[in-house]
Amino acid sequence: MNDKKIVLVTGCAKGGIGYEYCKAFADQNCYVLATDIPQRINDIVDLPNDNVEALALDVTCDESVSSAVKTIISKYGHIDILVNNAGIGCTGPLAELSLESVRKAWEVNALGQLRLVQQVVPYMAARPGGGTIVNVGSVVGRVPTPWAGSYCASKATVHAFTETLRVELRPFDINVVLVVPGAVRSNLGNAAMEKLRGIEWKLYKGYKEAIEERARASQVGKATEARIFARHVVKKVLKPKPPKHIVFGHMTCLFAFFSWSPLWVRDSFFAKRFKLNNKL
């Protein structure tokens, strides 16, 4: 095991990008700790490689994160790469979206990543050569869209965390990489649609179809396949000097355009795309 990089990946249930990260790292002769919440641990035990081990980990729980990290350190002595992939969607108009839903999204998408960082960094800092932390953001962390404001804000927080960590961890030789996916096909859309089931909007009841369309927007059409996306990211992360940002996937060029275009261009596009020009 001494010649293999030890990689910890969160959010690895089958059908998601994390599952594909695990396969891609394992194919590069890394030893992967594939983690997810205890309720979904059976979804990752069938990863077809001797280089993958399943481990229960809930990114929202201090005790769970601490226990998992200590287990890995006690068995393997170090963690070379942390991939903060775990995340959930949160769809709905901000004026009506329940604060409980907003808190959950932020707890998983943002604080969940920082919780892992705080547990893993002391071990990386103590080793010559440090390590690599990979935080998964989103194109909507840079350019937020209607009907997904909470999710977009949680990913914007990840971007801010990551840019800060990159400089703060420089003295310890720890690389910090921000992954910025575009539209990548995974189980995120189905999970977001399931959460919308049974919700009755008040002010926005006439926009129900548009809200549902936003929930599955990244999963249709020419969305990048998760396997292709994961292999691209892993190849970059394993470089001796990994890039600070990895931007990849369908629609990344469009969102790059929106990031510097006048706001009226962005607003006009999204209002038309998500039916917000329609007065009810």
Query: What digits encode the pLDDT tens for the residues 107-148?
Result: 999 999 999 999 999 999 999 999 999 999 999 999 999 999
8 Å CB contact between 193 and 212: yes
Please state the φ and ψ torsions of residue 31, each to the nearest 5 degrees: -105, 120
19, 21, 31, 151: which is the annotated catalytic residue?
151
Q: What is the mean pLDDT of residues 260-267?
A: 96
Q: d(Cα 17, Cα 34) in Å, to the nearest integer?
A: 12
Q: What percentage of the chain exceeds 90 in pLDDT?
A: 82
pLDDT at residue number 186: 84
76, 155, 195, 207: which is the annotated catalytic residue?
155
Q: d(Cα 61, Cα 115) in Å, to the nearest integer?
A: 9
Q: Report CA-CA distances (Å) from 194 to 191, 213, 215, 262.
A: 5, 13, 10, 35
**For tokens 């959930």, what's the residue?**
88
Q: Is 241 a catalytic residue?
A: no
Q: Is 155 a catalytic residue?
A: yes
CA dihedral sign of residues 271, 274, 276, 277: positive
Q: Please state whether the predicted TM-score (pTM) of the whole model is above 0.85.
A: yes
pLDDT at residue number 217: 79
8 Å CB contact between 85 and 18: yes
Query: What digits encode the pLDDT tens for the residues 236-245?
Result: 999 999 999 9
Residues whose CB falls within 8 Å of the CB of residue 21, separated by 6 or more in sequence, listed in order: 9, 12, 83, 85, 230, 233, 234
pLDDT at residue number 2: 66
pLDDT at residue number 278: 74
Mean pLDDT, all residues of the chain: 93
Query: What digits encode the pLDDT tens for the residues 52-103?
Result: 999 999 999 999 999 999 999 999 999 999 999 999 999 999 999 999 999 9
Query: What digits encode the pLDDT tens for the residues 166-194?
Result: 999 999 999 999 999 999 988 776 777 77
8 Å CB contact between 182 and 139: yes
pLDDT at residue number 207: 92
Domains of the chain in start order, with CATH, are: 6-273 (3.40.50.720)
Query: What digits encode the pLDDT tens for the residues 22-47?
Result: 999 999 999 999 999 999 888 787 78
Q: d(Cα 169, Cα 167) in Å, to the nearest integer?
A: 6
pLDDT at residue number 58: 98
Token couple for 272: 């038309």
Query: What digits encode the pLDDT tens for the residues 196-236?
Result: 877 899 999 999 999 988 888 777 778 999 999 999 999 99
Q: Flag whether pLDDT at 280 surpasses 80.
A: no
pLDDT at residue number 189: 67
pLDDT at residue number 1: 62
Neighbours of 69 (CB within 10 A): 22
